Amino acid sequence: MYLLIAVSNYTTILTKNQEFCYKFQKICTATFKIVSKDDFVYNSRINSTIKKLSIVINESSDLIVSPAYESFRVINNNELYPFYLYMLLQRESFARRVLFNSFGSST
């Protein structure tokens, strides 16, 4: 069994409460994504008023996320350390560049 998470602009990883998890166990989770340690999870629904992107790094054991989230990982940790990439992605200057280059609807 995996822990279900959500991604927020303000914190790293939000875990769902017990009542939600109990109801969730009854739903088919085949479409959900398994996120391993050091994988990134990104909420692609960009809000133009934010100063930080909704991206987190999983620093714990395997979790599951909604298929609405994008997930990716660093292939070679010897060339790029995952937490270093996470720190770069959290910078306001990176968020400004992403928002400048984005256009259209994200939903």
Tens place of pLDDT per residue across the chain (107 aa): 566 666 655 544 545 544 455 455 556 667 788 889 999 988 877 665 666 778 889 888 888 888 888 899 999 999 999 999 999 988 888 888 877 887 765 55
pTM, whole model, 2 decimals?
0.70
Let me know how many helices (H) and strands (E) the chain has, helices first.
3, 7
Q: 32 — phi, psi (to 5°)? A: -75, 155
Compute the CA torsion angle 82, 87, 88, 90 (nearest 10 deg). 120
In terms of Cα–Cα distance, which of 57, 55, 48 is closest to 96? 48
